[in-house]
Structure formats: structure tokens, C-alpha cells
């Protein structure tokens, strides 16, 4: 049964994420209209109380807020451009993963059509939606997020970052970058461990414990970076170079590619060659800035 305390929500896109979000809305009694490009994905949602629209125009007509959870920036335009007129005066939240500049472009597009816009970065996978640990970062027009905060909190913690529509996507992608680099580091390391007959599962358990302990040091790394003072009493870059050079040799000796650890080696080498061997490891960020 729908709950009249909520204004109607239209959700565009019923992929894995869109379905999880629509299910959370329906479960809470939010009047929910769904649309998906290809048919056959709304069955369970309709059975649970959602309304399926045949067209995007029909879907957005009576919406209090329209939420797009599509594949990418191009699919957002492909879906919304034809209904820009119908969206005028309405509120739109894009939860599709888009690069920050793409989010800003969407904000300009929306403003040009009289649409109030906020963008979001989903820090969760579909099974997490509505549960503990699910969080969504928002930026753009604060009023859009605040007007629908109660509904948005059904997906996960809703954090508003600021008026720059690209900010949520930027932080989302920064966090994802750290995750991709961490998992790729695990793949590199598991390949090395595998040459000694250690399964990726067993190594994964060890790596998870090790990385959890090490990750606690990140804010301290951040303090050093933010201070700009890269002086180091111990474990300076020349020391790190010796260790990473040995790790690269270990991979070569074992017949394993050095692509991931080799990139770390190159960054450290460039800093040492530039005369920063006595500086802290954190100075490696200067190679990336």
C-alpha cells in the first residue's frame, strides 16, 4: 500500500541497481512509477505495488522527483533529452555513474530546461541498498536533496557535499579508484603467492587482515601530504625503493608480470632520481599531481 506522506517517485532504469532502489521505495510505501528501456524487468515490482510506465514521458508526468539509474552519461541523455519539456519545473536526481564533468554538463542541461538537478554517487552494491553500510553522496541543488531526504535515506545514508554538481561523482570516483587499485594490488600479489601453491582464497584472507590493519594509517598519510612537509625519520623513499625493487625481482624470479608493482616502482624511482630519496613515501603523490 502506498503512503501519502511521500510525494510520487519515478525511477528510470531497472538494471540491478534500479531494481534494488525501486524495491526499497515500494517496500516503504512510496508511490513509485518505474520505466525501463527494454520490457520484462518490472514484473516483481508491479506485483509489489509499483506502476510501470510504457514511455519515459508517461513515467515523468506526475512525478514529484525523477531518479535516473541508467548505464552511463550517454544513456541519460538518450532517455531524458526527448522529455526535457515534460521535466521542466520538476526535480531530477541522476544516480547514474558519470564522470564529474559529465555531471556538471547534466546540471547545465537541466538548468537550461528549467529542471532542478542534483547528482549522486552510489557507494553501495545492489544487495546493500536499504541496509547498513549503504551510502549515497549528493551534490548540486541542495533543495532537491533536502526535499526528498526521507525517500533518499531509504536507499542509504544521504550525504550532501555541496553545490558543485560534479563533486559527488568526483568523490565517488576517487573512492572507487582507491578500491580498484587495492583489488588490482591483491590480484598482483595473489599471482605471486600462487606460484608457491597458496590459493587466492587463502591469500585473500591474509591480505584482507593485513590491508585492514594498514589502511588505518591513511589519515596519517593524509596529514603529511596536506602539511607539505615530507621529511622522514625512517622508511624514507630510498628505503622504500630498495624494498620495492626487491619485490619486482621476486615477481620476475617467479615468472609473474610486474605490471602493478612495476608502476609503484616507477613512481618511487622518479622521486628518488629527482633527489627526494630522503623524503617520506607520501611524497610519491607529487608524481601524480
Q: Which of 32, 96, 103, 188 binds ligand FVH (CB under 6 A)?
A: 96
Cα 27 to Cα 57: distance, rounded to the nearest angstrom: 25
Contact set for ligand FVH, span 71-90 (CB under 6 A): 71-72, 75, 78-79
Contact letters for ligand FVH, residues 19-48 (x by CB under 6 A): -----------------xxx--x-------
Residue with cell 598482483: 188
Per CB under 6 A, 16 contacts ligand FVH: yes
Residue 48 corresponds to which cell in the numbers above? 509489489
Contact set for ligand FVH, span 121-140 (CB under 6 A): 122, 125-126
Cα 91 to Cα 93: distance, rounded to the nearest angstrom: 7
Contact letters for ligand FVH, residues 133-172 (x by CB under 6 A): ----------------------------------------
The stretch among 70-78, 198-206, 234-242, 264-272 that binds ligand FVH (CB under 6 A) is 70-78
Q: Which is nearer to ligand FVH, 125 or 243 (CB)?
A: 125
Give me the residue whose beta carbon is nearest to ligand FVH.
15
As measured in angstroms, the least distance from the Cβ of 162 to ligand FVH is 20
As measured in angstroms, the least distance from the Cβ of 252 to ligand FVH is 36
Under 8 Å between Cβ of 240 and 276 = no
For the chain, what is the HEC assignment? CCCCCCCCEEEECCCHHHHHHHHHHHHCCCCEEEECCCCCCCHHHHHHCCEECCCHHHHHCCCCEEEECCCCHHHHHHHHHHHHHHHCCCEEEECCCCCHHHHHHHHHHHHHCCCEEEEEEEECCHHHCCCCCCEEEEEECHHHHHHCHHHHCCCCEEEECCCCCCHHHHHHHHHHHHHHHHHHHHHHHHHHHHCCCCCHHHHHHHHHHHHHHHHCCHHHHHHHHHHCCCECCCCEHHHHHHHHHHHHHHHHHCCCCCHHHHHHHHHHHHHHHHHHCCEEHHHHHHHCC
The stretch among 58-66, 69-77, 224-232, 280-288 that binds ligand FVH (CB under 6 A) is 69-77
Q: Which is nearer to ligand FVH, 130 or 251 (CB)?
A: 130
The stretch among 64-72, 182-190, 220-228, 265-273 that binds ligand FVH (CB under 6 A) is 64-72
As measured in angstroms, the least distance from the Cβ of 41 to ligand FVH is 6
Residue 11 corresponds to which cell in the numbers above? 525511477
Q: Which of 91, 97, 141, 271 binds ligand FVH (CB under 6 A)?
A: 97
Per CB under 6 A, 69 contacts ligand FVH: yes
Q: Which residues contact 249 (CB under 8 A, 6 or more apart)?
A: none
Q: Which of 6, 10, 11, 17 binds ligand FVH (CB under 6 A)?
A: 17
Per CB under 6 A, 13 contacts ligand FVH: yes
As measured in angstroms, the least distance from the Cβ of 64 to ligand FVH is 21
Residues that bind ligand FVH (CB under 6 A): 13-18, 36-38, 41, 69-72, 75, 78-79, 96-97, 122, 125-126
Amino acid at each position: 500500500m502506498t503512503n501519502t506522506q511521500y510525494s510520487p517517485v519515478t525511477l528510470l532504469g531497472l538494471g540491478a541497481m534500479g531494481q534494488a532502489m525501486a524495491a526499497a521505495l515500494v517496500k516503504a510505501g512510496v508511490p513509485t512509477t518505474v520505466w525501463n528501456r527494454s520490457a520484462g524487468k518490472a514484473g516483481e515490482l508491479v506485483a509489489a505495488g509499483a506502476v510501470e510506465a510504457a514511455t519515459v514521458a508517461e513515467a515523468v508526468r506526475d512525478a514529484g522527483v525523477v531518479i535516473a539509474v541508467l548505464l552511463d552519461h550517454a544513456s541519460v541523455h538518450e532517455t531524458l533529452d526527448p522529455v526535457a519539456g515534460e521535466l521542466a519545473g520538476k526535480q531530477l536526481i541522476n544516480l547514474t555513474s558519470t564522470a564529474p564533468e559529465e555531471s556538471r554538463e547534466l546540471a547545465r542541461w537541466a538548468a537550461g530546461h528549467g529542471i532542478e538537478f542534483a547528482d549522486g554517487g552510489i557507494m553501495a552494491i545492489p544487495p546493500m541498498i536499504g541496509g547498513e553500510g549503504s551510502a549515497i553522496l549528493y551534490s548540486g541543488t541542495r533543495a532537491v536533496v533536502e526535499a526528498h531526504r526521507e525517500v533518499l535515506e531509504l536507499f542509504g545514508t544521504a550525504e550532501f557535499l555541496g553545490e558543485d554538481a560534479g563533486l559527488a561523482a568526483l568523490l565517488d570516483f576517487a573512492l572507487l579508484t582507491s578500491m580498484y587499485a587495492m583489488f588490482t594490488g591483491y590480484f598482483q600479489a595473489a599471482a605471486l603467492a600462487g606460484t608457491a601453491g597458496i590459493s587466492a582464497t587463502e591469500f585473500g584472507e591474509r591480505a584482507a587482515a593485513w590491508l585492514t590493519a594498514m589502511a588505518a594509517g591513511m589519515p596519517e598519510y593524509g596529514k603529511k601530504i596536506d602539511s607539505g612537509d615530507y621529511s622522514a625519520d625512517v622508511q624514507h623513499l630510498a628505503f622504500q625503493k630498495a624494498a620495492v625493487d626487491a619485490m619486482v625481482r621476486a615477481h620476475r624470479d617467479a615468472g609473474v608480470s610486474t605490471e602493478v608493482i612495476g608502476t609503484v616502482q616507477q613512481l618511487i624511482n622518479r622521486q628518488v632520481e629527482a633527489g627526494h630519496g630522503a623524503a617520506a613515501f607520501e611524497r610519491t603523490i607529487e608524481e601524480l599531481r
